Amino acid sequence: MNAVIDIAPAPTQQGCGDAPVLRERGQREVFCGLAGIVWLHRKIQDAFFLVVGSRTCAHLLQSAAGVMIFAEPRFATAIIDDRDLAGLADANAELDRVVTRLLERRPDIKMLFLVGSCPSEVIKLDLSRAAERLSRSFTPRVRILSYTGSGIDTTFTQGEDTCLAALVPELPASEERALMVVGSIADIVEDQFRRVFDGLGIGPVHFFPARHAGEMPPVGPGTRFVLAQPFLADTTRALELRGARRLAAPFPFGAEGTTLWLQAIAREFQVEATKFVSVIGPRRERAARALAHHRVQLEGRKVFFFPDSQLEIPLARFLAREMGMVPVEVGTPYLHRQLVASELALLPAGTQLSEGQDLERQLDRCRAARPDIVVCGLGLANPLESEGLTTKWSIELVFTPVHGFDQAADLAELFTRPLARRMKLVA
Amino acid sequence: MQLTLWTYEGPPHVGAMRVATALDDVHYVLHAPQGDTYADLLFTMIERLPRRPPVTYTTFQARDLGGDTAELFKTACSQAFERFRPNAMLVGASCTAELIQDDPGGLARALALPIPVVPLELPSYQRKENWGASETFYQVVRTLAGPRAPAPGTPRPAREPGAKPCCNLLGPTALGFRHRDDVREITGLLNELGIEVRTVAPLGASADDIARLGEADFNVVLYPETAQQAAGWLQRFFGQPFTKTIPIGVKATKAFIAEVLQLAGLPADTPLPDALSRSPWYSRSVDSTYLTGKRVFIFGDATHAIAAARVATEEMGFTVVGLGTYSREFARDVRDAAKHYGVEALITDDYLEVEAKVAELHPELVLGTQMERHIAKRLGVPCAVISAPVHVQDFPARYSPQMGFEGANVLFDSWVHPLMMGLEEHLLTMFRGDFEFHDGAAASHLGRAAVPPPAAAPAPAAESSDVPAVAETATAAATVAAPAASAPITVAQWAPDAQKELQKIPFFVRGKARRNTERFAAERGLATITVETLYDAKAHFGR
């Protein structure tokens, strides 16, 4: 009955399914979850993100957001000062004052997130209670929620996970059988996927998060959700608690990843094989054609991933299987085996996986391996370039549309460009 | 609690990082949660350093809080020492670690490292980046040079006969606005005067250099924000005087030279090495006439703002209509300077306040930081950057100091440039009925704003009879673009014939004419503006 043709060849070997993982602790060169605000506020167009933290938090946001900060951003920091530290009751009153003033000034805001930071967590400022308290005064005009983006709890993209997980209990209930795509992806990619699902006759399809606070999708036992991003462990759990079921699949990076991802969905929604092939085939073909000339440049090259976004494993899989690259070490801040099981199965056997980080030791390993390209954060990229290594700064992989068939070549190009540049400058 | 969108300064530990990164063989161990490493990218990306800042973070996480974060700190500290073998170490806490109260200083002392360790107390919930840099530099100097200080009251030994006078340059740091080139410029200047520069600190100094700071005859304080405190200490303990003049602009540079000659004990008539000083002539050349009285708004750190105001008035012939700073530590100096120009100083670290002020004052040029650059862009006003915080484009590859004679040349070019661009833009708009120009023609530096800035008109008052009806919406548009603008006073109604007459005035002064006339009418309580009112106002405001 599940007559869906496997377009992709089944993996022939065990991959990295049960490969040992190097677990390290030490200095971690990563962003905290607050950085997620930078793209989340673009995605949810009437939400405001108010960080309750220190000047460091505000400085981090403006460093990470770059010029975006000047476009009347929908995020800000309520900076805790020493008067707030003197007594917590005071801090709550202050927070209410700041929120009230903010919402008066921005009547267009429909959803406000109070975002916890390291200082607010350490002084145990209870933001969930503050959110409840404030909700009472602002409902129904504004919904006020809270989640943590603190560095002590979250690493970079995990900030999106804690945000979405906080939204899940707020989603309307529904018994309807529907597909939910979870994880914020670029609007253009969302529209592309919508067209594919229409072609396959799959519907209704919801994307979570939605573009507006008032349009968040319903959830219930009929919901089948598929992750578009690998870093959504808490959100997955929260959705499962509401009766939704996750469809296991690799992530939609590259032609193969996208095909397998769509295939898992098509199988669940019982799409006929011929239909699947007729809808997916041409798109896959187009992606493969676009990828071909990148493969020439990337094949056989060694790639080393520093931990950053949890995208490392799916990206290494894409680079290894579709671009013929050799992953030397794939570092990830957290490894949720369940969520990346289908990815690990596809990763070449023998790939060194590492979870967590001891920066100096990892740098030693990286230098010793002399990879052709190093995927790392902006704090490391220039120093490594000056040592003669070629780098691809990883944050771009989060900000650029890279999901789906039509972005597959853009994704590959992110890796070919630094190599091509180095060759040009050497020549 | 303070609601903040943009901050002019980072937290104080970023200031400490700027000093640590500037120093040569000093390592900073920072007790901080995961995520605080973001600050590294300021150095590797904005300043484009080819190396990592010499900072080790403990990066504790929630699971560590239940356990022993103090142990974590000690481990990080001893491992950093083993790996980097620095000649001195800084230890301290970021804002979160300040709350968990682990006492980095005490913990580091317990390790009994064979190098000097400087414990830093940086109150993150009260102070900011520049204060952090200043305090760190002061503590470094005190710890490393302190042991060499002579007994209190010891007179400074006279310089050996025949020995060249020598000084230190204090204040340049990593991530400093044009610090790299200012150091080169001022070093060259001093050398030409016959003064040797012993140590530049903290930028490029080793722990050993810092220990020997007391050997020079005097100190040159380039940036009081970072160096004044350390210089004060050196004066008290080594009897070294330090300079007060900031050599930004030709006049200030000459005053600086006079001060330096005196401190060095050199004759006051030592020839000036100002051969390449082009800006005084450029300012006098007729091409610069249209700069006269141009209304300029200035905001930045105290040092650069005060210096810019002097250059703007005395060397460029501008009129300062607003002066302000985000450096509260130096607010008094800025207030004094503002008084001198007859304006009220704006002391704030809220960029919305700055924006409101700029919108209210309608300056024709804004000199400020990265933020003012964006404010000016929104309001359609030309702008040049004179102070940190700055973005990557203000760490240029080319030589571009702010200080000394070459610095004055740089200032002239970079301030006049956006005005020239403004002129170009106006001319383009003026001739947009022309077959070669059209509405779609790209703007030069102001982006594709739909309308040109109102009355930012750098133009010789040419007779321009054939001005198309353009830019009339400019004032209205500027008001829309400036939501923070001050509440308008009740505006008199324009009679149709007065409105028509206004259209005949060249558009690049029309905005000013409209404002002046409306102000004139409001002051006299006129309900209607007639043609006569227009010319009465012209006569009233005419120079």
Tell me which chain B residues have a C-beta less than 8 angstroms from the C-beta of A385.
50
CA atoms within 13 A on the CB side of B97: 31
The answer to whether the annotation marks A57 as part of a ligand binding site is yes
Q: Residue B355 is encoded by which pair of tokens?
A: 């924006």
CB contact under 8 A, A122 and B100: yes
Phi, psi for A116 (deg, rounded to 5): -75, 150
Question: Residue B511 — pLDDT band, cuts 50, 70, 90?
Answer: confident
Task: Count other C-beta atoms under 10 Å from residue B276's C-beta.
Answer: 11
Structure confidence at residue B431 as a pLDDT band (50, 70, 90):
low
pLDDT score, position A427: 63
A contacts of B41 (beta carbons < 8 Å): 63, 377-379
CB contact under 8 A, A97 and B1: yes
Average pLDDT over residues A395-401: 90
Q: Residue B514: which pLDDT band, with cuts at 50, 70 and 90? A: confident
Q: Is the pLDDT of residue B458 over 50?
A: no
Among A323-337, B59-73, B419-433, whose mean pLDDT is lowest?
Answer: B419-433
Q: Which of A101, A114, A152 to mutate to test the interface with B (most CBs of B within 10 A)?
A: A152
- The residue assigned the tokens 């020439």 is A296
Residue from the list A55, A77, A385 with its beta carbon closest to the beta carbon of B10: A55
Test mutation, A118, A156, A355, A363, chain B, max B CBs within 10 A: A118
User: What number is the average pLDDT over the span A264-268?
Assistant: 97
Chain B CA closest to residue A66 = B391
pLDDT at B274: 73
Task: Residue window 105-144, chain A: list those with CB within 8 Å of chain B.
Answer: 118-119, 121-123
The minimum CA-CA distance between A300 and chain B, rounded to whole Å, is 28
Under an 8 A CB cutoff, do A119 and B58 touch? no
Tell me the CATH number at A319: 3.40.50.1980
Following DSSP, what letter does each residue of B368-391 receive, concatenated?
E-HHHHHHHHHHT--EEE-SSS--
Per-residue model confidence (pLDDT) at position B426? 65
- Identify whether A23 is part of a domain: no
In tens, the pLDDT along B212-233 reads: 999 999 999 999 999 999 999 9
The nearest alpha carbon in chain B to A377 belongs to B41
Characterize the bridge pairing of strands B295-300 and B319-325.
Answer: parallel
Q: Look at residue B464 and tell me whether its pLDDT is greater than 60.
A: no
Q: Rounded to whole angstroms, how far apart are CA atoms A217 and A243?
A: 14
Asked whether the beta carbons of A216 and A208 are under 8 A apart, the reply is yes
- B480 — pLDDT class (breaks 50, 70, 90): very low
A55/B contact by beta carbon, under 8 A? yes
Q: What is the mean pLDDT of residues A108-115?
A: 96
Q: Best mutation site among A48, A52, A70 for testing chain B: the one with the most B CBs within 10 Å? A: A70
ipTM of predicted complex: 0.92
Instruction: Examine the domain organization and report whether A292 and A397 are in the same domain.
Output: yes
8 Å CB contact of B35 and A382: no
Q: Is A96 on the interface with B (CB under 8 A)?
A: no
Query: Higher pLDDT residue, B491 or B34?
Result: B34
In CATH terms, the fold of domain B162-264 is: Rossmann fold (3.40.50)
Position B467 confidence tier, pLDDT thresholds 50, 70, 90: very low
Could you tell me the residue range of the domain that residue A69 belongs to? 33-154
Q: pLDDT tens, B244-272?
A: 999 999 999 999 999 999 999 999 988 88
Q: How many C-alpha atoms does B470 have within 13 Å on its Cβ side?
A: 22
Q: Clarify whether residues A289 and A398 are in a common domain.
A: yes
CA-closest candidate to residue B431, choices B471, B378, B396:
B471
Across A358-382, average pLDDT:
96
Query: According to the model, what pLDDT value does residue B451 have?
Result: 44
- Say yes or no: A339 and A374 in one domain: yes
Return the domain boundaries, chain B: 12-133+142-147, 162-264, 278-419, 493-542
The end-to-end CA distance of chain B, in Å, is: 48
Task: For residues A156-162, give the mean pLDDT.
Answer: 97
B501 lies within 8 A of chain A by CB = no
Residue A274 confidence (pLDDT): 96
pLDDT for the residue numbered A70: 60
Percent of chain A with pLDDT over 90: 85
Residues 65-84 of B with CB under 8 A from A: 65, 76, 79, 83
**B349-390 per-position pLDDT tens digit:** 998 899 999 999 999 999 999 999 999 998 889 999 999 999
Same domain assignment for residues A291 and A420? yes
What are the pLDDT digits (tens) for B300-317?
Answer: 999 999 999 999 999 999
pLDDT at B321 over 50: yes
Q: Among A74-78, B6-10, B122-126, B502-506, which is the least confidently predicted range?
A: B502-506
A395 touches chain B (CB under 8 A): no
Instruction: Give the type of residue at A245.
Output: R
The partner residue sitting opposite B44, judged by closest CB among A34, A59, A381, is: A381
* Mean pLDDT in residue range A149-173: 97
Question: How far lies B214's CA from each of A242, B222, B230, in Å?
Answer: 70, 17, 11
Residue A373: what pLDDT? 98
Tell whether A300 and A422 lie within a shared domain: yes
- Annotated active-site residue B287? The verdict is yes
Helix and strand tally (H, E) in chain B? 21, 15
| pLDDT: which is higher, A303 or B512 | A303
**Cβ-based neighbours of B132, under 8 Å, separated by 6 or more:** B11, B12, B13, B14, B15, B16, B122
Q: Which residues of A touch B60 (CB under 8 A)?
A: 152
pTM above 0.90, yes or no: no
Closest Cα in chain B to A88: B1
Query: B125 contacts in A (CB within 8 Å)?
Result: 54, 80-82, 84-85
Chain A residues inside the 8 Å CB shell of B61: 151-153
Cα A367 to Cα A51, A110, A351, A390, A425: the distances in Å are: 38, 49, 17, 11, 22
Residue A395 has pLDDT above 70, yes or no: yes
Q: B190 at the A interface (CB within 8 A)? A: no
Count of domains observed in chain A: 3
Question: Is B463's pLDDT higher than 50?
Answer: no
Chain B residue closest to A100 (CA)?
B3
Q: Do B44 and A379 touch (CB under 8 A)?
A: yes
Distances in Å between the Cα of B326 and the Cα atoms of A364, B107, B125, B285, B520 are: 42, 35, 17, 35, 34
Of A85, A98, A119, the CB nearest to B96: A119
pLDDT of A270 over the 80 cut: yes
Residue contact A54–B35, C-beta within 8 A: no
- Looking at the fold, whether A149 and A200 belong to one and the same domain comes out as no
A113/A223 same-domain check? no
Which residue of chain A comes nearest to B374, CA vs CA? A70
Nearest to A28 by CA among A402, A386, A332: A332
Please give the C-alpha separations between residue B355 and each of A74, A141, B4, B28, B294, in angstroms, as whole numbers: 18, 29, 14, 37, 19
Mind listing the pLDDT tens digit for each residue in A281-312?
Answer: 999 999 999 999 899 999 999 999 999 999 99
Residues 359 to 418 of B: which have CB under 8 A from any A CB? Answer: 371, 374, 391
Between residues A229 and B157, which one has the greater pLDDT?
A: A229
On whether both A264 and A306 belong to a single domain, the answer is no
Tell me: do A246 and A299 sit in the same domain: no
Q: Are residues A48 and A143 in the same domain?
A: yes
Overall average pLDDT of the B49-64 stretch:
94
- Residue in B with minimal Cα distance to A389: B50
Residue B479's pLDDT band, with cuts at 50, 70 and 90, is: very low
Residue of B64, B103, B181, B287 marked catalytic: B287
Q: B45, A118: Cβ pair inside 8 Å? A: no
- Beta-strand runs (E) in B371-479: 383-385
Instruction: Tell me the pLDDT tens digit for each residue of A1-24.
Output: 444 445 555 444 568 878 889 999
Q: How far is CA A335 from CA A100, A147, A339, in A?
A: 40, 22, 9
Contact of B60 with chain A, judged by CB distance below 8 Å, is answered with: yes
Q: A366 a known binding residue?
A: no
Q: Is A360 on the interface with B (CB under 8 A)?
A: yes
Instruction: For the sheet with B319-325, list strands across it.
Output: B345-347, B319-325, B295-300, B365-368, B383-385
**Average pLDDT, stretch A256-266?**
97
Asked whether the predicted pLDDT for residue A425 surpasses 50, the reply is yes
The torsion angle over the Cα atoms of residues A365, A368, A371 and A376, rounded to 10 degrees, is: 40
pLDDT of residue B38: 94
CB contact under 8 A, B125 and A123: no
Q: What is the pLDDT of residues A42-61, one digit of tens each?
A: 899 999 999 999 999 999 99
Q: Are residues A326 and A224 in the same domain?
A: no
| Chain A interface disruption, residue of B95, B370, B378, B392, most A CBs within 10 A | B95
Q: Are residues A199 and A314 in the same domain?
A: no
Q: Which CATH number fits domain B493-542: 1.10.8.550, 3.40.640.10, 3.30.70.2660, 3.40.50.300?
A: 1.10.8.550
Mean pLDDT score across all residues of chain B: 87
> Looking at beta carbons, which residues of chain B come within 8 Å of A386?
50-51
**A8 domain residue, yes or no:** no
Beta-carbon separation of A151 and B76 below 8 A: no
Q: Where residue B536 falls among pLDDT bands split at 50, 70, 90?
A: confident
Question: Which of the listed CATH numbers 3.40.50.1980, 3.30.750.24, 1.20.1430.10, 1.25.40.10 matches domain B278-419?
Answer: 3.40.50.1980
The verdict on B85 touching A (C-beta cutoff 8 Å) is no
- Count chain A–chain B contacts defined by CB atoms under 8 A: 175
Task: Give the domain B12-133+142-147 fold.
Answer: Rossmann fold (3.40.50)
**Residue B11: its chain A contacts at CB < 8 A?**
54-56, 59
Task: Please name the residue of chain B whose CA is at the shortest distance from the CA of residue A152.
Answer: B61
